[in-house]
Structure 1
């Protein structure tokens, strides 16, 4: 399939509430499918919302938020992700989801690519959380810098400031990425910080599309005044960094052209774009940094994509991570065949 339709989410999660945000996720999946999308992309840590408290309160005031955030972060094989997989299968749509993943006592800024059959094609974690994020989330390894095949093209995903790490960008481009999901939180709510401005971060996504000659789907959260009150330290005031809005959903073409009409930054919605993978050939005909425009005799990238585990048990096989979804047509209690990925 060279032509398809993609959708980017610009919406507000139900802050710090995993189950209600899962309900909203499913509604947005259905809305995207009804709009003709073959793929829908969600923002960074959409489930249960970006931890804005990391940037808005001193550490000693964050503990109640940290506890609540842990309680509403989800396991990759937990009921919330299973429901979202079932929704993707029911509508036959590829879903790329950003979420806070809980594994034991640790949290990770994760993304998964769910195929239209409900199977998980890719599970990754943010390679290195940014600045204050490192007080809450763990790091990942090179196995997350991976592009996977889907019926609509080769899909990859990164979170937030991973898009300005040149070596990570190059690692993805070198894998013939065709459709890229850029997961972002609310943009611009931290006030007048140039490096964190909407202009800078949309430019980073646009540049990513240009460098990799890939379609870049930018999904972002928004924050309403009511949402900001969730992170209040008291007295009915919004969190100190709140400036409103934050939504900048976009789709850029492989030549960096903007393919969608921007929504109002404070409004929820989906933006849709029709894409044609043949346009990638034209873009790469001019510049292909990991192909004909490369100079491996001068500069090369070493990419270690092997998963790293803190505990290795020789001779003990690791169990499968993702259980197969139940067959919707099978009678209740019937066993299904399939393997976890």
Structure 2
């Protein structure tokens, strides 16, 4: 990261469980951010087609088909449309979405360059609590950073930020711009502080201090439309409230770089990120450099992708023996 950049952080409500409608809204926000000078825009967790709040309110299977129908398939015409808008507006894009990969859904953060190219796709390592009833798990291949013209960019979703070892893996890859995508903070507010805005905002701020990096923390809003669609009785209305938007942008010293919006207010937070702030913070305490003690504690990390099917390449001799190869000058090879 060798120059200052302007970034945009989304706080808005998706068009709930409407993929096409939310893509249209996504495009509007991309164009707005670009018109205001942003070089990067970051969206909330599962922005497309909206976070499945029903998982916390009733039987997880109730609306599962609706999520499948409205999840994005990477490489589809809809995905290409989004990428083309990034290119047309010369802006980088980190998009939170529900990805449909054949029969499985994943909670994904998709990084697209200002030329419309896919730089990286990461899947949430461990869906939280009831999310596991709908979404698949990822593996160590999703814990990586991306070196770009803007700087070294990394991303995590929601409660991946409470995993100390996961955080350290990202710090150790010298992350400079971190995007922490959140769904909203208006669930179970009267039940547990763990899901409160205070706790989760603190996680984003502490990430910035620990990693000496910028943290962009986009956050969705629970709209009245979502409440009307999902909260069909008084009990559900007590569990999920409208609002919950607490988007933030933090500097490497943990300071807030923008004035927050009201929790029900849609809009973009914009901030200028100055790389000198990273240099100063790292000089004081670098947890993966001069302030580390790998002789005392170190972390074992497996970055490999776990694949359900691996195809072993046959050896040349095996191909001859099974007559799949015929050597020049003979019609058939007999193996002795």
Q: TM-score if structure 1 supplies the norm length?
A: 0.89
Cα contact 1:211–1:289 (8 A) shared by 2: yes
Q: 1:164 aligns with which of 157, 162, 165?
A: 162
Q: Which structure would you say has the larger Rg? A: 2
- The alpha carbon displacement at 1:244 in A equals 1.8
Residue segments in structure 1 that go unaligned for 5+ positions in a row: 317-341
1:214 aligns with 2:213: yes
Consecutive unaligned residues in structure 2, runs of 5 or more: 315-336
Q: 1:113 to 1:152 in 2, by over 3 A?
A: same
Q: CA deviation at 1:74?
A: 1.2
Among 261, 264, 270, which residue is 2:262 paired with?
264
Residue 41 of structure 1 pairs with residue 42 of structure 2 = yes
1:98 counterpart = 2:99: no
* 2:24 corresponding residue in structure 1: 23
Q: Quote the Cα distance in structure 2 between the aligned partners of 1:237 and 1:291.
A: 50
Structure 2: distance between partners of 1:186 and 1:313: 42
User: Following TM superposition, by how much is the alpha carbon of 1:188 offset from its aligned partner in structure 2, in angstroms?
Assistant: 2.5
C-alpha distance in 1, partners of 2:309/2:20?
A: 32
Cross-structure match for 1:242: 240
Cross-structure match for 1:332: none
Alignment partner of 1:32 is 2:62 = no
Cα separation, partners in 2 of 1:292 and 1:88, compared to 1, 3 Å? same
SS in 1 for 2:230: coil
Return the alpha-carbon distance in structure 2 between the equivalents of residues 214 and 88 of structure 1.
24
* Contact preservation (8 Å) 2:186, 2:222: no
Cα distance change, pair 309–254 in 1 and its aligned pair in 2 (3 A)? same
Does 2:274 correspond to 1:276? yes
Query: Contact between 2:12 and 2:267, CA under 8 Å: does it hold in 1?
Result: yes
Residues 39, 94 of structure 1: 8 Å contact kept: yes
1:154-193 map, 5 Å: 154-192=152-190, 193=192
Provide the C-alpha distance between the structure 1 equivalents of 2:234 and 2:297, rounded to a whole number of angstroms.
55
Q: Is the 8 Å Cα contact of residues 225 and 238 (structure 1) preserved in structure 2?
A: no
For 1:201, the equivalent position in structure 2 comes to 200
Contact 1:107 / 1:136 at 8 angstroms: preserved in 2?
yes
Please state how far the C-alpha of 1:289 moved relative to its aligned partner. Answer: 0.5
For residues 203-246 of structure 1, the C-alpha deviation after alignment (integer angstroms, 9 at most, x for no partner) is 0000000000000000000012222112244x799755222211
| SS at structure 2 position matched to 1:63 | coil
SS in 2 for 1:217: strand
Give runs of aligned pairs for residues 1-341 of structure 1, distance below 5 A.
Answer: 1-57=2-58, 59=59, 62-192=60-190, 193-233=192-232, 241-315=239-313
CA distance in 2, matches of 1:35, 1:77: 29
- Partner-residue secondary structure (3-state), 1:44: coil
Q: TM-score, normalised by structure 2?
A: 0.90
Residues 56 and 239 in structure 1, CA contact (< 8 A), matched pair in contact too: no
- Separation in structure 1 between the aligned mates of residue 19 and residue 236 of structure 2, nearest angstrom: 21
Tell me how many residue pairs correspond in the alignment. Answer: 312
Q: State the Cα RMSD in Å.
A: 1.5
